[in-house]
Amino acid sequence: MKNCILLVFGLLALATAAKLNYTGHKVIRVIPETKEQLEFLRDWKSSSEIDFWLLPSSAGRFADIRVSPESYAHVAAKLADMKMSHIVHIADVGELERQEQHNMAQRNDALQSLTVMAYLAELANTNPLVSTKVGGTSEEGRDIVQAIISSDLSANKPVHFFDCNIHAREWITAATCVWIIDQITTGYGSDPEITSLVDQYDWKFVPIANPDGYAYTWNTDRNWRKNRLVNNGSTCVGVDANRNFPIGFAGSGSSSDPCSGIIYGAMLLLAVVFIITRTVVGGPMGTSSEYYTTPASYCTTTCPEYYGIEKAEYYTTTYAAPAHYTEVPNYTIDIFQEKAFCIKIEGNENRKTGGNEPAARDVQRYQIARTFEN
């Protein structure tokens, strides 16, 4: 437990050397009240002009936008033209980062050499419940690693899938995955509830689904969101890996602009990303907002399958024994030949297309695919 706590803080402390300076950058909060204002913000978010920290989802709900000192007056004027007022939610992003780094250093400044991969390797070597699997290699040659916790891998038990840190700047998501792994591995055999959960299910985690982007936030840009794939014909690097799944690909909530933070990438890239992530990833965890997102989140109105999804969730949460899962029509098959729950821990968004919780449900056939944004 002690090592895990130190590692969680160490994960965050690794980012103290970020080079880009965000002093003077603000985060402003705006609330679209009309359909026209909402569509204006949605069109704006697809450009690379500004950085949405919380995407516009519906009229009456706020959106957060990071603006530089140079662009603040221009952004404020455009909002005023649309009769939209704003408040300053964060006055100085650079100062907030310095406070964050100071707080992390106060908690722990001695374990910066530790990484998540080293932690998982140690667990796999010392704990019989734990094994690891490499699902693919990133653009810069880093492994995409999954940790598997099972008391009996031969039992073909239902699976809980977690993936974290698909968006590079959401550091706490990787720490959350590590914390959950620690709770399970240290509690098994002594905590009756944890022991029962491990005996009933296998648990699979991808703590860092975007290792290149995560490394980039340590070394260069604390606010980097995407991976580090090269976009042909552009000097702008990276795509949003959570816009590269087949369901609703290239629709609302994504962008073709290679400089945008929500670029969906090329169709060839889609295939590569999906093949890698379907091997180990059920869907991502995140930060910056508080949402419980369903696979129907890409719809602007009630999707035809919405009530079927809710029925499936009712049955699978009401009848815990695996024997009851077969009572849920059309929601009991997935590509791994195992009944699975898919947990996505993520942030900064609430409605999108090409994301992986709808893909987990419609393509990989998980019974329940959900995003928890904390």
Residue 271 vs residue 369, higher pLDDT: 369
Model confidence over 146-192: pLDDT tens digits? 999 999 999 988 888 888 888 999 888 888 889 999 999 999 999 99
Q: How far apart are CA 323 and CA 8, in angstroms?
A: 37
| 285: phi then psi, degrees, rounded to nearest 5 | -100, 155
The percent of the chain in helix, strand and coil, each rounded to the nearest 5, is 40, 15, 45
Model confidence over 330-363: pLDDT tens digits? 322 222 223 334 444 444 444 445 455 544 444 4
The pLDDT value recorded for residue 10 is: 55
CA distances from 154 to 54, 150, 244, 371, 374 (A): 43, 9, 32, 29, 34
Which residue ranges form the domains of the chain, and what is each CATH number?
25-91 (3.30.70.340), 115-374 (3.40.630.10)
DSSP SS3 for 256: coil
Task: Please state, rounded to an integer, the average pLDDT across all residues of the chain.
Answer: 74
CB atoms within 10 A of CB 86: 19
DSSP SS3 for 356: helix
Percent of the chain with pLDDT over 90: 34
The H or E element spanning position 178 is: helix 171-187
Q: How far apart are CA 365 and CA 336, in angstroms?
A: 9
**Mean pLDDT on 19-40:** 95
- Residue type present at position 51: D
CB atoms within 10 A of CB 35: 10
Whether the per-residue pLDDT at 259 is higher than 50: the answer is: yes
Q: Name the residue among 52, 2, 45 with its Cα closest to residue 27.
A: 52
- Residue type present at position 304: P
